[in-house]
Chains A and B, each alone.
Chain A
Amino acid sequence: MKAIKIGLILFSILLLALPAFAQEATEEPEELGSAEDLETTEEEVAAAVEALGEDGFIAIIACTYSTEWHFTVADSAQTYAEELGLRVEAFDSEIDVEKQISAIENFTSSGADVIIICLFDPPSVQSALEEAAESGIKIIQYAGRQLADIGGVTISAEDEDMGRIAGEYAAQLINDELGGEANVAILDYPDIQNVVVRADNIRAAIEELAPDATIVGNYLGGTTEFGLASMETALVEHPEINVVVSINDAGALGAVQALENAEVEDAIVVGIDADSQAIELIKAGDSYYRGTVSTVPDVTGVMTINAAVKVLAGSEIPQNIAVPVSLVTAETLAEMED
């Protein structure tokens, strides 16, 4: 009897806790500015240098330096800032919340004027950033839009756009080359909410534009090893898979290896991020890799510094700014070379 009572209590607690597992809705930003809104003048740069004074600086807090995309954003921002004569300090959070919180606190106490930050767990660092904002530090977020609520400027490509463009291109190839019929695997990485949005939009675009294609399932990707292992097993169960669309290039590169290992003759792989290895394969033309979506990390880095200059100079800028997103294929690469 006692056991039943304890069981009922635990069951009630579980029921009460269920809402905590619900997915949070993503809020759409209202109006988006563009890279043109961030173009700076010499006067603004001079004003920014003056505003920093002798001790001030711009802090860049990266999510990680371990992926090409994140490394390029932080590195190009730092290089560009130094070219403009702005003092800058960069920090690698290594996808560690505690390290990121400490970095925000340290930069706040050491006199940063602007913090440019990439967030991977926004709620956990919100309070440290609010404290920084209250002490007068300007906050600029890239790769996300969560900081608009505390008055931060956000500079980000839209994950919806990335997923949709990758899905649309895959659907186009399915229609043009496979007669509209294909067996599609989507490589996902559900740990990051933004990435789930990409996968959802890949699926939606394929279902809409290539309705006769069969989406076999979502598989774990995100890293080359996960993409490789997932696709190896998926190909055992579904050897008919001939199209793979991935939420990033790292996972897609694993899928390419799995398809090669399984000696699949013809397949189509599309990724996102425009990693150099993916671009090499697309350019070579003899690989399954057919396209990727570029979110121009070097441009993103420059945009963050331009935003910092504008903010330091006291100029008006839109609060939410979109990073241009574009499809990279063998054709677009050939056009660029011409």
Chain B
Amino acid sequence: MSILALDNRQDLQRRVINIVGEQGFIVIFALWALYLTLNTDNFATTNNAFTVLRQAAVIGIVAIGAHFIILLGDIDLSSAATLTLCGVIMAKLMVQEDYAPLLAGIVTIGVGVLIGLINGLIITGMKINSIITTLGTSSVLGGLALRQTSGKTIAGDQIDAIEFLSRERLLNNNIPLPVIIMFVLYLAAFIILRRTRFGAHVFAVGNNARAAWLSGINTNLVKVMAYMLAGGLSAFGGIMQVARQGTATGTMGGDFLFPILTAVVLGGASLSGGRGKVFNTLIAAIFLTTITNGMVLLGYDINTQRIVSGGILIVALSLDRVRTLLL
């Protein structure tokens, strides 16, 4: 074998390992989808595809905000609590205060943005670590949500007015509205990150905050704006969840934090900041949903579902490490 042929072969090998490493979770996702297609009657049906996408919508939308924060090299642990509190506020405003849905929605998103502003100001102004700050605000927000509900479910006919956000189907009555909203928001996030000055600044701050500051970027402003965006998206996620379940409870987002952060990390965003593709976060959010969906379709019992889903996640997350070891 000539040296040239050997080089070509090694180059090909390296490229394959790189693709498997960087997009490893997509490979596992594809294998998992293939397995489910072959072993269940209903996985590869339009109905199930839209069920999965609709289930992924709330986590996917909130994960956009988490993606921005992780790109900055921070972590927002308050996103699920913001979702919960804002969901409760939305439901209370509509059911107990008779606010029109649009006004209630604007106020709710405003509260989410305000929460983000507070997070951002504490982190940049007081120089407190993002994990500590958002852990603290998460506790405060969770307590406020429970205080607002007193453990009770907020329900009422008024919530029917926003059910279209979960149930409406567009484009010849085919595609659920939440799915369209999710894709539109991801497209907007992609444009912001790749085509605007703010997006470039987010990457710059995440790569090297000091260098970004020295080059004239107002790093604190970038961070505060990113947290406000994340807060607003979490609040919108809360509204979507109220529309989805028709009610609000003080614990409605309690189980969302893990999948939100996992979606971003599984999608390849670097926890140290500066690297990540927003559409990979979307694919990861959908992948996470198909794990549970597939388990139910396969008829596995609940405990087995948890073992297998944990295993799939570990394998998917390990591929990046395999790439580092092999190259």
Contacts and interface: CB of A to CB of B under 8 A. Distances in A.
Interface of A: 64-72, 75, 188, 190, 217-220, 223-226, 228-230, 232-234, 236-237, 250, 253-254, 257, 260-261, 275-277, 280
A205 B56 CA distance: 36
B30 to A, nearest CB: 20
B311 interface: no
Contacts of B301: 217-218
Given A220-B305, A236-B297, A254 B245 contact: yes
Contact of B245 (A75, A225, A233, A236): A225
A199 B23 CA distance: 41
B271 to A, nearest CB: 26
Contact of B51 (A70, A71, A232, A253): A232
B153 interface: yes
B295 to A, nearest CB: 9
B296 interface: yes
Nearest to B167: A261
Interface stretch (B40-48, B96-104, B318-326): B40-48
Bin chain B's interface residue count. 35 or more
Q: Please indicate which of the listed interface residues B42, B54, B246, B299 has the most CB atoms of chain A within 10 Å of its own CB.
A: B246
Given A190-B302, A237-B297, A261-B166, A280 B155 contact: yes
9 contacts: A70-B151, A223-B252, A233-B297, A236-B42, A237-B297, A253-B153, A253-B247, A257-B245, A277-B155
Contact of B152 (A233, A261, A276): A276
A77 B142 CA distance: 24
A225 B51 contact: no
Contact of A224 (B51, B252, B292): B252
B42 A237 contact: yes
Nearest to B293: A233
Give me the 6 closest cross-chain CB pairs, A-B, nearest first: A71-B151, A233-B296, A277-B153, A68-B151, A236-B48, A66-B251
Given A217-B299, A224-B252, A233-B292, A68 B45 contact: no
A104 B171 CA distance: 59
Interface in B69-113: none
A234 B296 contact: yes
Contacts of B292: 229, 233
A276 B302 contact: no
Contact of A277 (B47, B55, B247): B247
Interface in B163-222: 166-167
Contacts of B244: 228, 257
Contacts of B7: none
Given A225-B245, A233-B292, 13 more contacts: A65-B150, A66-B249, A68-B152, A71-B152, A217-B299, A217-B301, A224-B153, A224-B252, A225-B241, A237-B42, A257-B246, A260-B246, A261-B167
